[in-house]
Chain A
Amino acid sequence: MRKLKLVMVGNGMAGVRTLEELRKISPDMYDITVFGAEPHPNYNRILLSPVLAGEMTIQDIILNDLQWYADNEISLHLGKKITHINRTQRKVVAEDGTEAEYDRLLLATGSNPFMPPIPGKDLPGVISYRDIKDTDDMIDAAARYKHAVVIGAGLLGLEAANGLALRGMDVTVVHIADWIMERQLDRTAGKMLESALAKKGMKFALNKQTAELVAGESGRVCAVRFKDGETIPADLVCIAAGIRPNVELAEKAGIHCDRGIVVNDTMQTYDPRVYAVGECANHRGIAYGLVAPLFEQAKVCANHLAMFGIGRYQGSVTSTKLKVTGIDVFSCGNFSGGEGTEDIVLHDPGAGVYKRVVLKGDKIEGAVLYGDTKDGSWYFQMLKDGQDVREIRDHLLFGNSHLGDAGHKGANSAATMPDEAEVCGCNGVCKGTIVKAIKEHGLFSLEDVRKHTKASSSCGSCTGLVEQILASTVGGAYTPADSSSKAICGCTDLSHGDVRKAIREQKILSAQEAIATLGWKTPNGCATCRPGLNYYCLSTWPHEAHDDPQSRFINERAHANIQKDGTYSVVPRMWGGLTTPDELRAIADAAEKYKVPTVKVTGGQRIDLLGVKKEDLPNMWSDFAQAGMVSGHAYGKSLRTVKTCVGAEHCRFGTQRSMDMGVKLEKMLFGMWSPHKVKLAVSGCPRNCAEAGIKDVGVIGVDSGYEIYVAGNGGIKTEVAEFLCKVKSDEEVMEYSGAFIQLYREEAYYLDRTCHYVQRVGLDYIKEKVVNDEANRKALYERLLFALQDYKDPWIEHAETPELRRQFENISV
């Protein structure tokens, strides 16, 4: 079959990313031809400032070298500007007459600098700041002239001014507004930035309108005259007054444009054969200039070019996280406030820190940060998720403790960390390794960094720090993903929420069925999505769904915990942490009989036998079954333990019978699968010896009954459980905690602990569903009991059923 012809006009970041995505999913569909007006292969435009400042070379910022185009069989025409599109004959024509026919045309023409109509704007010595040529011109001028004027104090203007100042020029920044970067910063932050830059030697002429650029004797620009009559010397004028989508070519070809080439959610223009991505495209009225949205567009566009027909670009909420000449600034949303909003402000001029979070009701409406921006992505995440922040309001400005857990307390900001500092404690990844990978492989997302370096791919507690390093390395290119709409994995574009909904509405009963009906891109999913799908089916359709052992992680498939050497650990259940001489004897016998090298008491008040060979598991389980012991599910996303203190049974302070209560809860929840592990504790008095404050459900006995706490966590990120309600009887404890756990089982995303789930939906929501709404509570509790009824101990089942035993038996040849 003849290959289709794809022509791309423009050779910048968004366009080339589209080709990369396209080659990845459909490598052989197209013969690809690329026209670039610049004589360079695709480079990282964001990093032009460090080049101007002399910190990087052009070679450092190349993203795809010529070899890449050759390897991907892309015909590349550099330095050839396309001047004409002939849509009837489906070909494009370049300035020099080169023609190329297309079946699909991709316009990625980017944007042009906006040149205000000032007299003298065409004089020699007046330039814009957009590409490598402009950068070279500025470097050249800096070597020969003294006075530079930059018109426009947006990011680009300030970066240009900084670069020119570093190259020894006397720089004045002219701006029409009262403060600099008024689109990204409020007045206070803008003024702080201004005084910091003034200290570096930059001059500012604010509230000034340029009347004319004056020519000198040589014909080159020599001065700038303002409307108020003042004149300042200028041998170089850099105009950085914003950018405009480059639509000239498309407009001439009669493709509908309106402040950008108008595209639909598949990035298709009004001509169905023509697509557009990047800064030239207008999607739902917005032409984006940040990299993250453009890469999202690239992904969607590639998918439709490959004729997969999946995925829509639905627009992006953007934030600005920038490093302006070495100073961190961040803003997102509506940071200027207005009617009905409130500001929470922290301003420490001495330390150079300013934080302002704008709230509307109980939700974040916007934020602006200066100096200390490490919590920017956290605020932005909460803004996008529409999270209720009422309860954390009093410490909102102090940031989340995200960064503190792995040993690097917030004080370390990513930029000042030495290269050899360890970022990811799980995988031993240093900052230098991450920075190197980001630069060498052109990484832009957290996911990419995880894949290439393993940093933040295990426990995830260093995620915030990795995001910061990413942001400081790629500049404004990084935008954190939106957790509520993030795809589960690369196999699908659907989010966890989408999938849960579909499984419920379409009554999907197995992981494989979900993969088939929900349009997965892979035949069997992957190790990330399949366990999630399996859980969602099981929890939504108990007793009806098909539990697929092959869609479970090995621990749940083998009902034991895999260890680093491939052996397993076995933990029999000890209800409420109670045991008997007979049980202990059975454990001791098994440890000897199967030559168990390590016997350990766990944190969950039971005994762990470590180093058991897989072949021995069924026999060991049979022995335990004889002694009346069952699986402890120490290996599963399931009920783990109910930790108890001695309580009123023996303790002189005890107010409630905590051991009894614990055993009842553990028996009720036996065999429960959940989005992640679930741990409970019951203490007999407020001294709380069972540590109920850091459990998914913690019950504390008081003289008049029990207090129930939920969503605590003692692991990766210590979270203190929150008070849910107080109840009087044992039965109520079972009903309320059961209802809470069932709500979590039905609504949380796979691998979210209760603390993550409650953070997402808010404690008020939980109280509404579990405490206030009695009918709903009883219904939840009923559904939990229904799901758990008739559960058979998996150990006995596997030991007694030959087909199930087979996985433990090896074949000899």
Chain B
Amino acid sequence: MTTTLEADVDWKRVCAVDEIPVLGSRVVNSQAHGSIAIFRNGDGEVFALRDRCPHKAGPLSQGIVHGKTVTCPLHSWKIQLEDGQAIAPDVGCTKHFPCKVEDGAVFLQL
């Protein structure tokens, strides 16, 4: 499958998956999209969200990751990692980006 990766210019290699702590995150600076938070959960899955809470723009990358959710460090809104939606009763959404792990590396589609 690695050959298709190279053919697909949209996918960008970000870092080795081990460079993101389990239940933690890293921040990617993108010219076009600003700061993007890459999360790694307990099951080894990775997710990418714009690093801005829909509530008061808190940096989600600095939150606590649990399940498929991150809790914003500023006012504890809970944001779903898969789609960037806030968990009810809060309402709001932050942009999410396709993200995957292949051969121990994290790829992001911008």
Chain A: residues with CB nearer than 8 A to chain B? 441, 451-452, 454, 457-458, 522-527, 530-531, 549-551, 553-554, 557-558, 562, 564-566, 806-807, 810-813
Contacts and interface: CB of A to CB of B under 8 A. Distances in A.
B29 A812 contact: yes
A530 B66 contact: yes
Contacts of A441: 89
Interface string B56-86: 1111001111110101011110100000000
Contact of B76 (A527, A550, A812): A527
A564 B56 contact: yes
A569 to B, nearest CB: 14
B89 A451 contact: yes
B98 interface: no
Contacts of A522: 66-67
Contacts of A451: 89
Contacts of B56: 564
A393 B12 CA distance: 69
B101 interface: no
A553 B38 CA distance: 18
B14 A554 contact: no
A485 B38 CA distance: 38
B108 interface: yes
B93 interface: no
A810 B28 contact: yes
Contacts of B64: 526-527, 530-531, 550-551, 553-554
Contacts of B43: 523
B26 interface: yes
Contacts of A553: 64, 73
Contact of B28 (A523, A527, A531, A811): A811
B73 A526 contact: no
Contact of B23 (A524, A558, A562): A524
A562 B66 contact: no
Nearest to B36: A813
B33 to A, nearest CB: 10
Contacts of B62: 554, 557-558, 562, 566
A466 to B, nearest CB: 16
Given A549-B21, A564-B74, A811-B26, A524 B66 contact: yes
Nearest to B27: A810
Interface of B: 12, 14-15, 19, 21-24, 26-30, 35, 38, 41-43, 56-59, 62-67, 69, 71, 73-76, 78, 89, 108, 110
B19 A813 contact: no
A811 B67 contact: no
B29 A810 contact: yes
Nearest to A452: B89
Contacts of B35: 810
A531 B73 CA distance: 13
Nearest to B89: A452
A175 to B, nearest CB: 44
12 contacts: A524-B66, A526-B69, A530-B66, A549-B24, A562-B73, A566-B57, A806-B19, A810-B27, A811-B15, A811-B26, A811-B28, A813-B110
Contacts of A562: 59, 62, 73-74
A202 to B, nearest CB: 42
Contacts of B27: 810-811
A562 B59 CA distance: 10
**Which of B12, B64, B65, B71 gathers the greatest number of chain A CB atoms within 10 Å?**
B64
A441 B63 CA distance: 28
B21 A550 contact: yes
Given A441-B89, A811-B26, 6 more contacts: A524-B67, A549-B24, A550-B64, A557-B62, A558-B62, A562-B59
Contacts, number: 88
Contact of A813 (B21, B30, B41, B58): B30
Nearest to A531: B64
Contacts of A554: 62-64, 73
Contacts of A810: 26-29, 35
Contact of A523 (B58, B67, B76): B67
B15 A527 contact: no
A530 B24 CA distance: 13
Nearest to A552: B64
A525 B73 CA distance: 16
A565 B42 CA distance: 28
List 3 tightest A-B contacts by C-beta distance, closest first: A527-B71, A527-B64, A550-B23
B42 A523 contact: yes
Nearest to B25: A807
A454 B64 CA distance: 19
A132 B56 CA distance: 46
A524 B22 CA distance: 11
Nearest to B76: A527
Contact of A525 (B66, B89, B108): B66
A565 B73 CA distance: 11
Contacts of B24: 549-550, 807
B63 A527 contact: yes
A408 B59 CA distance: 34
A526 B71 contact: yes
Nearest to A548: B23
A575 B76 CA distance: 33
A557 B63 CA distance: 10
Nearest to B108: A813
B89 to A, nearest CB: 5
Given A527-B71, A566-B59, A811 B14 contact: yes
A810 B51 CA distance: 12
Contacts of B14: 811, 813
A554 B73 CA distance: 7
Nearest to B21: A550
Nearest to A558: B62
A549 B38 CA distance: 17
B59 A526 contact: no
B36 to A, nearest CB: 9
A419 to B, nearest CB: 20
A807 B35 CA distance: 14
A811 B89 CA distance: 33
Contacts of A812: 28-29
Nearest to A566: B59
Contacts of B41: 524
**Which of B23, B29, B65 gathers the greatest number of chain A CB atoms within 10 Å?**
B23
A50 B16 CA distance: 64
A564 B53 CA distance: 12
**Which of A441, A553, A566 gathers the greatest number of chain B CB atoms within 10 Å?**
A566
Given A527-B63, A566-B62, A811-B15, A550 B22 contact: yes
Given A806-B19, A810-B27, A813-B14, A524 B65 contact: yes
Nearest to A437: B89
A554 B51 CA distance: 15
A457 B27 CA distance: 29
Contacts of B89: 441, 451-452
Contacts of A558: 62
A762 to B, nearest CB: 32
A439 to B, nearest CB: 14
B58 to A, nearest CB: 7
Contacts of B58: 566
Contacts of A524: 23, 41-42, 65-67
A813 B28 contact: yes
A453 to B, nearest CB: 8
A165 to B, nearest CB: 39
B83 to A, nearest CB: 19
Contacts of A549: 21, 24
